Amino acid sequence: MFWTPVLITAGINSIIALGLYITMSSGPLSVAHAALAGMGGYLGAVLTTNFGWPFALAILAGVLLGLVTGMLLGLLIVRMNELVAGLTTLGFGETMAVIAFNIDYIGGANAFTGIPLRTTLPLVYAVLAVILFVAWRYDHSRLGYAARATRDSPVTADAMGINITWVKSITFGIGAAIAALGGVLRAHYILVQGPEDMGFFISVGFLIFVVFGGSYVFWGPLFGAMTLTILPELLRFSTKDRFIIYGVLLTVMVILRPQGFITRRSMR
Amino acid sequence: MDLFFQQVLNGLMIGSTYAVVALGFSLVFSVMRVVNMAHPEFFMAGAFGAYLTIRYVTTNFFGVLAGGMLVAAIVGLVVERLAIRPVRGRYVMIPFIATSGVGIALQHLAERVFGSDPVAIPPVVPTVSYTLGPLSVTRMQLVTFAIAAILMLGLRYYVRNTKWGRATRAVAERPDVAAAFGVDVNFVSRLTIGISALMAGAAGVSIGILYTSAWAFMGLLYGLKSFVCMLVAGNRHIEGVMAIGLLLGVLEALVSGYITSTLRDAVAFGVLVVVLVFKPNGLFGSYSV
Amino acid sequence: MSLLLRVKDLEVSYGAVPAVKRVALEVPAGEIRAILGANGAGKSSTIKAILGLVKARGTIELEGRPIHGVPTHRIHQLGVAWVPEGRQLFSTLTVHENLEMGAFARGDGPRFASRVDEMFTLFPRLRERRGQLAGSLSGGEQQMLAIARALISEPRLLIMDEPSLGLAPKVVQSLFEQIQAINARGLSILMVEQNARQALKIAHYAYLLEVGRLAAEGTSAALMASEDVQRVYLGG
């Protein structure tokens, strides 16, 4: 089917975008999520390819890696103001990409290849459905409210007894874990995992899914990722042009409608 | 020991360009409270401007420098008009995202126009080496350092001793009050972006000639390192950012020489993490957003 | 008598919250007029609207010329100088540099040098400190510098926002004497003050704002005797 690749990619992008959404729900802007996804991808790929692990366990390993890394990152940026935090995630992502570039065991500049195909369309959408359910429950959970309170007014949140450090750290962790999950799926679909998928641009790509789609409700990132993955295919844009459009779209969107396409109000 | 001094020398040369780029970025942040994520593209525009100047206009070094800086300044004013002016004064992440968008569009536009492979820049400065005992340095390295030094000292003089420099400091501190005493704050903002673009552009020309190539994505790594410089140094004193830029260059050169050159680019982030964990406001403070 | 400043039907809102509702005031040439009221009454918002620092609706005329919508820096060039609430000096600039900023619109020719001299004669303590950073001055000295910074541009209208804020009573006393002396030389002054007693001593006429509306207005004598003012804050 012609549409399979596009739909799989759109599904994976949606998963990672939702991860970013959860991380950003407590405040920080992250441009490290592509790197986090990549890390998951690398770990999962090495485990299945070199060690013959079952796919499910490889996924689990990736998710755990994402969770731990994300929580550590979250802890690191807790005391920073948003700008510094954002730039730190930038640095983290780029550094991970550089490190991946330089480790020959995982392929270095030539990327890690030979990954077995494990990801199928039904699997991706089953996982997506699960993640959507998780995001929905998250939005209405105590943690979700605490996260949004922390983002909107840290001082008030603190005064209400919310442990900001814990909230930021765990939301970053969960978001990173989901991104890593997406990364494992991706690696086992594209069958190649390389450092160029971990950089700033790709991360900004996910960011634009969230900003464009709407960063306040979980349907937003889904809409953003789906639309912005499928539309360029429909219009037959090449990758280079795609990023020019992404860049322009990001700028225009954030100036004219910073809350994104789908807001809480438009859901009523 | 010779290796040490040689690397320190090399590091200072490159570090001077980090400092120049970081200064422009830091200046815009201080005056306009905007993180201009498209700042690295001014650097890239300078390098391509140099390439175009050499190809179509002149191979005279000063002409090339002027051409590169001019292109960078034009890009700067375009970015200011499209992504900064409409969102100044709003919640700080919005200009961050808006300029990120423009930056990415510019990078890929450059890729579209010039191709994904680096474009060769013919040497317009003769490759002459000078030796000082066991140390050697090329003419272009010296030129790079000299340009950087002139720009930084010039900026310092401008900010401290001229009417508009004073006005810039006033706007950085209290834009409303500055306006109430006759300062056109929009003009000062445009001026500041223009200056930051000229400086980054000059650094781009230098690096383009030094490494004989220009590439659509060359700004990214430079941008990251200059952001690190600004974060580590804090943005209160010009001198702090300058010093950290030089220091970063030296540190990278030493790591390259003694440990491994492949980890060179990770040095910046390592330093950043260490410093920010202990002093979230930078070494010389302060960050008011 | 010519009107230096005329404000009519002024309305200022911050988002959905109205801060100033249909305020009208005038400053005839050569007078000191005061705006009184408690915290949050809308006094500073009125000033900011006149200066073009916040969006507002209504009529604002300077010497008959409408200035509503004119950018702030142009308003200064038309002869309006501001002594902001809390001084708001450029603390990273020296005393002398603050004065240079005050004269920014006028240039720094020989006229500037003689104006600086006049300011130092008016406020001798500043002369000794001319090279010091403005942030390092005492409260009273900062107030002097803030006024000097405003006066140095030879304005036609001086707008002062809470000049007595944070100053010791003795300092306030001499400050108001100085304001009166400045006015005696012909400068028109619009003053926002919480210290109604001091303000009414030197003002010719005053306006009382309450929750954004004009509650009362009149000559100082009339207001000092009025119940409204007594009620609001002369201790009544």
When CB atoms are compared, the residue of B270, B273, B289 closest to A83 is B289
pLDDT band at B285 (very low <50, low <70, confident <90, very high): low
Q: B117 with B110: CB under 8 angstroms?
A: no
d(CA C194, CA B16): 54
Q: Provide mean pLDDT across the span C161-168.
A: 86
Residues of C with CB below 8 A from B173's CB? 90-93
Chain A touches chain C, with at least 3 Cβ pairs below 8 Å, answer no
The contact set of B with A (CB < 8 A) is 35, 82-83, 86-87, 92-94, 96-109, 111-112, 116, 220-221, 224, 227-228, 231, 262-263, 265-266, 268-270, 272-273, 276-277, 280, 287, 289
| pLDDT tens, residue by residue, B170-189 | 998 899 999 999 999 989 99
List subunits contacting chain B, requiring 3 or more Cβ pairs under 8 Å. A, C
Mutate to test the interface with C, among B181, B189, B236, B238 (most CBs of C within 10 A): B181
Q: pLDDT tens for residues C47-94?
A: 999 999 998 999 999 988 999 889 999 999 999 999 998 889 998 899
pLDDT per residue over B98-148, tens digit each?
Answer: 898 899 899 989 998 998 889 988 888 888 888 888 888 888 899 999 999
CB crowding A77-107: b at 16 or more within 10 Å, else e: bbebebbbbbbbbbbbbbbbbbbbbbeeebb
Q: What is the pLDDT of residue C6?
A: 92
Residue pair A110/A138 in contact by the 8 Å Cβ criterion: no
Place of tokens 């970063």: B248
Fold for B2-118+133-278, please state it: ABC transporter involved in vitamin B12 uptake, BtuC (1.10.3470)
- Per the model's pLDDT, the better-predicted residue between B284 and A110 turns out to be A110
Q: Is A79 on the interface with B (CB under 8 A)?
A: yes
- Reported confidence tier of residue B29, pLDDT bands at 50, 70, 90: confident
Instruction: Provide, as residue numbers in chain C, all residues whose Cβ is less than 8 Å from the Cβ of B175.
Output: none
Give C230's pLDDT tier (boundaries 50, 70, 90): low
Report the pLDDT averaged over residues B221-248. 83
pLDDT tens across A149-194, in order?
888 887 888 888 888 888 889 999 999 999 999 999 998 898 888 8
ipTM over the 0.85 cut-off: yes
Report the alpha-carbon distance of residue C46 to residue C193 in Å, rounded: 13
What is the percent of chain C where pLDDT is above 70?
A: 95
Q: What is the pLDDT of residues B147-163, one digit of tens each?
A: 999 999 999 999 989 99
- pLDDT band of residue C232 (cuts 50, 70, 90) is low
Q: Across the interface, do B93 and A29 touch by the CB < 8 Å criterion? A: yes
- Compare A267 and C181 and report the one with higher pLDDT: C181
What pLDDT was estimated at residue B289? 37
Comparing alpha-carbon positions, the chain C residue that sits nearest to B237 is C92
Indicate the residue type of C235.
G
CB contact under 8 A, A29 and B263: no
pLDDT digits (tens, 9 = 90+) for A55-98: 889 899 999 999 999 999 998 888 777 777 887 888 888 888 87
The residues near C67 (Cβ < 8 Å, ≥ 6 apart) are: C50, C52, C60, C61, C75, C78
Q: Is the pLDDT of residue A47 over 70?
A: yes
Please provide the average confidence, as pLDDT, over all residues in chain A.
Answer: 85
Which chains are within 8 Å of C by 3+ CB pairs? B
The full set of domains in chain C, from first to last, is 1-79+155-236 (3.40.50.300), 87-154 (no CATH)
Q: For chain B, give every domain's residue range.
A: 2-118+133-278
Backbone φ, ψ for residue C204 (5° rounding)? -85, -35
Which chain B residues are Cβ-neighbours of A198 within 8 angstroms?
none
- Can you give the pLDDT at residue B288? 46
